[in-house]
Structure 1
Amino acid sequence: MGLDRRTVVGLMASASLIPGAALSANKDISVLTDPWTGPYGGVPPFDKAKLEDFEKAFETAMEAQRAEIRAITVVRSMPTFENTIVALETSGAAMERVGAIYWVWMGGLSSPEFQDVSQRLSPKLAAFGDEIMQNEALFQRIKSVYARRAELNLTPEQDRLLWLTYDNFVRSGADLSPEAKARVAEINKELSVLFNQFSNNLLHDEEQVLYVTRAELEGLSEGFIASAAKAATDAGKDGLYAIQNTRSAMEPVTTFAHDRALREKVWRTYVNRGDNGDAYDNNEIIRKILKLRFERAQLRGYTTHAHWRLENAMAKTPEAATALMESVWPAAVGRVKEEVADMQAIADQENAGLTIEPWDYRYYAEKVRKARYDLDENEIKPYLQLHKLVEGMFWAATETFGFTFTKVDTVPAPKGAKFQHDIGFVHKPSDTVPVFHEDVTVHEVSRNGKIVGLFYFDPYARKGKRSGAWMNAYRSQSKVTGETLPLVSNNSNFIEAAPGEPILISWDDATTLFHEFGHAIHGLSSNVTYASLAGTAVARDYVEFPSQVNERWLSTSEVLSRFALHHESNAPLPPALLEKINKAATFNQGFGTVEYLSAALIDMKLHLAGGADIDPDAFERETLEAIGMPKEIVMRHRTPQFAHVFSSDGYSAGYYSYLWADTLSADAAEAFTEAGGFYDKAVAQKLFDHVLSVGNTVDPAEAYRAFRGRDADPAALMRARGFA
């Protein structure tokens, strides 16, 4: 989540500002605006940042960047790549620094006080972005350089930066009439406020907790029950058990709780986030967002918002993205019918007297898995200790790509020993790095004996933290003003265990852990000159490819035999159990694919609906019925809680990206298996050289062909999901 880095958040100060100079005499403000100090080329001063300083800090940073932009536009000499494109690229250092901390607050520390601040700041930041993108003098200089690009003797990376800069300005409306520019700017301000309201409403609903009795939790693991007891006690509800409104709590309850009424209650609470007809209902906000996006797309000369969004993606058009989704949909729905029939048969054998409903799906799927593969997730979970799996994902990155991870001290220090992952890691106490919460740990990352960045890890759910899992880049890698190390983070919402107990997670959560770490590896592998092209700054339907490939290392015998250790006996996962896991690898793929794909189709169809006055609930219901959505499944993200799409422009008309990228990742996985396994050094080096390290310096289709020697084979996706 963040502003487009080529507009408001450049990297280093330039032009009229002296590099490294203080921007403000106000000591509190300067903590946020001034160059970062400390080890690793400077680190964010999370320990000194104050909420009340954000607004003034942004005002100071905006004035600084305005001065930098003026310095670019008043140059009398002919526009060149250096005095225009590089100058723009290296502008906005203060905005970058303030924004890095601000977006962490928004995702991980969103108190009511912060929400008040962000509600005021959102339209100001949107307006500032448009101020730069609509700066006529600046655009004319960019346009002049672009028109002469063939005669400038640029490197391929410089040529791509020039094209992306020009394209970004044009797509943002730099060529529009003054009237159209003004309206686009007004729309962007309105959208920024709506995005903020959507996020705050969703956060409100996600902070609602169900308190239940011990008897209602029969079937759940003792670890989960102990965690629920601790959470209730912490909330002053001794004797009860807290079920938090997160996926990491909902999935275990709907998978293992014998109490069907509890399963339904927890499921409904989760799937109705943002859709309760109260002051926090998101439907009207979504309606407004859709109309504004359509109007903005029309002003920019595009048929719909979806056409605008996909123009510079790998898919290029909504039609191409939709074609891929619709090619997979029938096979996925067909598999769901088979899965439901298997579940219903077991329910009938048990004389349960029920028809499978969405809150029954996971519960009876586990029974089918047990019957078919003699495999019970509760049999696997004792081996899935969070801290050991973190060690495992580090180990896999070391074995595959040569990274090493060294834990460093933090301020504030972690409270107690609740996340005991010091064991097994080299520890470096000489450098102390500030963090924004005591849950966060930090690792120094090296490759071939050279420090390449820092990895921050924020694992736990807490009040004020948005749900889900995501990767942040506090600072992107670059070389334009000297070697700048990337600082990246992974953020999760695991439920804390009771004191002294291990944190045991599900296989799905373990997969997500490795997925997000794939994004981190992408950011840490970057080796480019310009930050705008670094790491994960690639096409939306390409960025998920490296992270989806990284999921594959979780299920390798090398990781599981070393790091899937029983929390009581420390015994490794038995080979017989690993064999069962492998045999069941494509089990329940109908559910997983339909759950995701229905959300992706709704996203695309909403943004292809033109300027229609849409009732989101009715549109969702009627569209799902039209495409044959199985009644036993609900979308992975229902429309009123679809933060990917409605808390920013981020994945709007782009949630299909996961499927597009998984076509690449399935094909890439076969490159490893064809070579003998996921630790093949030659294939790993090609992936590193042609994908992970190049960022957006190469067209993604060309980058993939350089890695694989050909385009991806779509049939690999069907094989990976067991639909072949």
Structure 2
Amino acid sequence: MHTSPEQNPFDTISELPYRLPPFARIETAHYRPAFERGMSEQLAEVEAIATNPEPATFENTVVALELSGQLLQRVAAVFFNQASADADDEIQEIQAEVSPKLAAHSDTIHLDHRLFARVDALLASADDLDAESRRLLERYHLDFVRAGAGLTEAQQERLRAINEELSGLETAFQNKLLADTNASAVVVDDAAQLAGLSADAVTAAAETARERGLDGKYVITLVLPSGQPVLTSLTDRALRERIHRASVSRGANGNEHDTRETAARIAALRAERAALFGHPDHATYVLEDRTAKTPAAVHDMLGKLTPAAVANAHAEAARLQEVIGDEFELRAWDWAHYSDRVRRETYDIDAAQLRPYFELDRVLRDGVFYAAERLYGLTFTERTDLVAYHPDARVFEVFNEDGSGLGLFIGDFFTRDSKRGGAWMNSFVDQSTLLGTKPVVVNNLNIVKPPAGEPALLTFDEVNTMFHEFGHALHGLFSDVTYPTLSGTSVLRDFVEFPSQVNEMWAVWPSVLENYAVHHETGEPLAQSVVQNLLDSQIWGEGYATTEYLAATLLDLAWHELPVGAVVEDPLEFEAQALRQAGVALEAVPPRYRTSYFAHIFSGGYSAGYYSYIWSEVLDADTVEWFKENGGLTRANGDHFRRTLLSRGGSIDSMQAFRDFRGRDPQIEPLLLRRGLTQ
């Protein structure tokens, strides 16, 4: 049954379990009116707070702000997930229209001097608040200041214009990149060129071609990073080169989807905005509100990693050239293929031969869910009676050990043309005792969907990604805070990857791995010798992996350490110069993301923050050592991690939460050892 726009499902709180959005009733026509009404309602609520004749109190100001805008939150959570996971032309049109309006809406609230005066007065007399309430008040005050509440009227007017333009540009970058990624898919005419790919991968390529009206051909779609998984297996060097060049030229093809000017304009506007706040550049402005605090601290940490990583990459390149011999010179499109050969020869590990042991549903239930059951006492029941936003998205109810409902987990694992690249976690409903809500979270991945009736077989990297993203989901599900602003993953950006990275350790934990790594046809477990070789092989390739990551991180910082007024005429030349100056310009090791498809920083939330992954990995590697020292996969360990850190959200200083868990500050040595950077 279709619901007319007049019967807008966003207007009321969902009556479904855990307030799951009523996806079966939601149509595209509902979004615009829901956004308009949601913004209007919140502005009326905020006006009532600002004009309240009573003196400011925590309840009538901060709590009232927390309770405002619930309709807007409901529609935004659903819409922006769809814009990332299942967009069409109309969704993209709405996104382009509504994003600048939302930016202006946020500015209207945060630049209201009456609201700021009330929050400012409260901060001066908040000694009687409990710790979480004071944390929330401090967060509000900082948000107002960083949003421009203390600027002059003329500065605020310019800030509004910058924010509105940036919102539109960031949306444009995302939509252009999605379009060019789809358009850049590589069409193959002859199946013989696909030698090396597994039979199911060839079948999937044929099915993708058929869906695009290219019957009899094969289509290799692109994933977001520079490195494409199929390059590991393909033996046809010319095809490998075609795929690699298609990947690294996305957004820079000179067509209507070109993102280069958009990226340069975004960086320039961010620098101008930082200058309004008295900062020399955008990176300084951003890092002021991160655990790192300053760009200098980030560069100091990266400086401890870069020389050893590049040296390792050069050593790996020499080893690969030995394997190739004099036939040709190692190039970027050869690296994955010959690196896999070295891994196979040295460790007897064949990535393609591992895939039959990593069937998606088995990895999910007997790996990801199993580890969560052993560690935290969770159980999972698939709710086929509950409808998600796409037929591929599956809904699971999550229960605590005592049988109480914890929340809902939605898994949307397959790639499609309407989904952006990469993998991520979103929240439809945030946990909050103030609102009486329990969490509803979603994980999105981009695994190639097999033909009907065929199993979905994963690479080990995709297995690792499933565990990683579920770490984000656990961070959201375990939230136990009062206020929605502090819920779940609402922690500082360079801390948010830490819990998800920790969860990756269980993918290779022996008792977990042996539980899910079973051949999908024969039921044969992955041999223990292969398991050990897989673990041993993880150090191989760390030079490449660390260098490609650091190159992207340093490129991000280069763009966001530009001063106001700096003009970048040629973004790709700027990129090349930045990589040379940072000492990471290796022709055979392109950055994980180049400027023209660096979605994390130009359309995501990671501007001047892509370093967060390795910054968080310092905490992660140290935490893995703690688990190993304390008995590994035990309920006692899981409960300690959940209680001291995962449940706290943003209600406590992030590094204090780590200290509460670990008993001390983090140490970098476990990370250096893990990545082979101790020499």
List aligned pairs for 1:672-711, cutoff 5 A.
Answer: 672-677=627-632, 679-711=633-665
Contact 1:620 1:639 in 2 (8 A): yes
Q: Would you say 1:632 and 2:588 are equivalent positions?
A: yes
Aligned residue number for residue 455 of structure 2:
502
How many angstroms does 1:239 deviate by? 1.8
Change (3 A) 1:117 1:27: closer
Q: Which amino acid aligns with 2:649?
A: G
Partner of 2:268: 291
8 A contact 2:5–2:30 mirrored in 1: no
SS at structure 2 position matched to 1:478: coil
Counterpart-to-counterpart distance in 2, 1:89 and 1:285 = 34
Deviation at 1:51, TM superposition (A): 1.4
Q: Distance in 2 between matches of 1:65 and 1:119?
A: 21
Paired position in structure 2 for 1:242: 219
Confirm or deny: 8 A CA contact 1:206 1:273 kept in the other structure. yes
Q: Does 1:28 align with 2:6?
A: yes
CA distance in structure 1 between the partners assigned to 2:4 and 2:214 by the alignment: 44
Q: Name the CA distance, whole Å, in 1 between partners of 2:284 and 2:227.
A: 36
| Partners of 1:29 and 1:56 within 8 A in 2 | no
Do residues 311 (structure 1) and 288 (structure 2) align? yes
Matching residue's letter, 1:442: V
In the alignment, what sits opposite 1:461? 415
Match of 2:556 among 603, 616, 626: 603
Q: Which secondary structure does the structure 2 equivalent of 1:552 belong to?
A: helix
Taking the aligned partners of 1:433 and 1:220, their CA distance within structure 2 comes to 37
Q: Report what 1:110 is aligned to.
A: 87
Aligned residue number for residue 191 of structure 1: 166
Structure 1 contact 671–683 (Cα < 8 Å) conserved: no
- Shift of residue 32 of structure 1? 2.1
Q: Does 1:646 align with 2:599?
A: no
SS of the equivalent of 1:216 reads: helix
Cα gap change, 1:82 to 1:133, in 2 (>3 Å):
same
Deviations along 1:449-508, one digit per CA (max 9) or x if unpaired, are 210110011111112111110000111100013x31111000011101122221111111
CA spacing shift, 1:160–1:717, aligned 2, 3 Å: same
Q: 1:34 to 1:520 in 2, by over 3 A?
A: same
Superposed, 1:396-435 pairs within 5 Å as 396-409=371-384, 432-435=385-388
SS at match of 2:25: coil
**Separation in structure 2 between the aligned mates of residue 185 and residue 26 of structure 1, nearest angstrom:** 35
Which digits, 9 at most, give the CA deviation of each residue in 1:529-571, with x for residues without a partner? 1111111000011000000000110011112211111122111
1:211 maps to which of 187, 190, 215:
187
2: CA distance, partners of 1:139 / 1:300 = 17
Q: Indicate conservation of the 8 Å contact 1:243/1:249, yes or no.
A: no
Asked if 1:163 is matched to 2:138, the reply is yes
Query: Shift of the alpha carbon at 1:434?
Result: 2.6
Matches of residues 284-363 of structure 1 in structure 2 within 5 Å?
284-348=261-325, 353-363=327-337
Q: How many residues align?
A: 669
Q: TM-score scaled by structure 1?
A: 0.91
**Once the two structures are superposed, what CA deviation does each residue of 1:302-355 show, in whole Å capped at 9, x if it has no partner?**
22111111112110111101111121011111110111111000100xx5x111
Instruction: Work out the CA distance in 2 between the residues paired with 1:101 and 1:500.
Output: 30
- 1:558-595 Cα distance to aligned partner (Å, 9 max, x none): 12211111122111111111011111121101111111
Superposed displacement of residue 676, structure 1: 2.9
SS of the equivalent of 2:386 reads strand
What corresponds to 2:624 in structure 1? 669
Say whether the 8 Å CA contact 1:248–1:494 is kept in structure 2.
Answer: no
SS of 2:658's equivalent? helix
Q: Deviations over 1:223-279 (max 9, x none)?
A: 111111222222232221111122599633211111001001111111211111222
The residue aligned with 1:437 is 390
Partner residue of 1:182? Answer: 157
CA drift of 1:663 comes to 0.2
User: What is the deviation of 1:291?
Assistant: 1.0
Alignment-derived partner of residue 676 in structure 2: 722
Instruction: After TM superposition, give the deviation of residue 145 of structure 1 in Å.
Output: 0.7
Offset at 1:433?
Answer: 2.1
The whole-number CA distance in structure 2 between the counterparts of 1:514 and 1:121 is 34
Instruction: For residue 287 of structure 1, report the CA deviation from its aligned partner.
Output: 1.2
Instruction: Kindly indicate whether the alpha-carbon contact (under 8 Å) linking 2:377 and 2:635 is maintained by their aligned counterparts in 1.
Output: no
CA change 1:247–1:643 in 2 (3 A) is closer
Q: Distance in 1 between matches of 2:582 and 2:65?
A: 47
User: Secondary structure in 2 aligned to 1:65?
Assistant: helix
CA contact (8 A) 2:225 2:592 kept: no
Quick one: which amino acid aligns to residue 393 of structure 1?
V
Distance 2:610 2:279 in 1: 20
1:379 corresponds to 2:353: yes
**Whole-Å separation in 1 of the counterparts to 2:286 and 2:4:** 41
Structure 2 residues without counterparts, runs of 5 or longer: none
Instruction: State the Cα deviation string for residues 30-82 of structure 1 (Å, max 9, x = none).
Output: 31232112222x22122222212322221111111111111112211110001
Contact 2:226-2:594 within 8 A present in 1 as well? no
CA deviation profile, 1:623-662 (whole Å, cap 9, x unmatched): 11222322211111111111110014x1000000001000
Corresponding residue number in structure 1 for 2:148: 173
CA distance in 1, matches of 2:49, 2:159: 24
Q: What residue number does 1:22 align with?
A: none
Q: Is the 8 A contact 2:323 2:338 kept in 1?
A: yes
Residue type at the aligned position of 2:10: L
* Contact residue 134 and residue 181 of structure 1 kept, 8 A: yes
| CA-based RMSD | 1.5
1:7 maps to what in 2?
A: none
Match of 2:55 in 1: 78
Cα distance in structure 2, aligned partners of 1:608 and 1:250 = 26
Q: TM-score, normalised by structure 2?
A: 0.96
Q: In structure 2, what residue type is equivalent to 1:663?
A: V
The one-letter code of the counterpart of 1:522 is: H
1:85 Cα shift? 0.5
Q: Secondary structure at the match of 2:383?
A: strand
Deviation per residue, 1:417-441 (Å, 9 max, x gap): xxxxxxxxxxxxxxx3231110010
C-alpha spacing 1:525/1:699, structure 2 compared with 1 (3 Å)? same
1:671 and 1:240, CA in 2 relative to 1: closer, same or farther beyond 3 A?
Answer: same
- CA deviation after TM superposition for structure 1 residue 26, in Å: 8.0
Question: Do the aligned partners of 2:542 and 2:675 also contact (CA within 8 Å) in 1?
Answer: yes
Q: Is the 8 A contact 1:332 1:593 kept in 2?
A: yes
Residue type matched to 2:181 in 1?
E
For 2:324 and 2:111, locate their aligned partners in 1 and report how far apart those are by CA, in whole Å.
Answer: 62
Please tell me whether the aligned partners of residues 340 and 356 of structure 1 are also in contact (alpha carbons under 8 angstroms).
Answer: yes
Q: Distance in 2 between matches of 1:506 and 1:43?
A: 32
Q: Is the 8 A contact 1:248 1:495 kept in 2?
A: no
Contact conserved, 2:374 with 2:634, CA < 8 A, in 1?
Answer: no
Give the secondary structure class of the aligned counterpart of 1:119: helix
Contact 1:29 1:57 in 2 (8 A): no
Three-state SS of the structure 2 residue aligned to 1:207 is helix
Given the superposition, is the C-alpha separation of residues 633 and 499 from structure 1 closer, same or farther in structure 2, using an over 3 Å criterion? same
Confirm whether residue 593 of structure 1 aligns to residue 546 of structure 2.
Answer: yes
8 Å Cα contact 1:560-1:572 kept in structure 2:
no
Tell me which amino acid in the other structure corresponds to 1:176: L
Distance 1:407 1:488 in 2: 14
1:491 aligns with 2:466: no
Specify the alignment match of 1:572 in structure 2: 525
Q: Give the Cα–Cα distance (whole angstroms) in 1 for the partners of residues 499 and 532 of structure 2.
A: 26
For 1:457 and 1:582, locate their aligned partners in 2 and report how far apart those are by CA, in whole Å. 27
Corresponding residue number in structure 2 for 1:583: 536
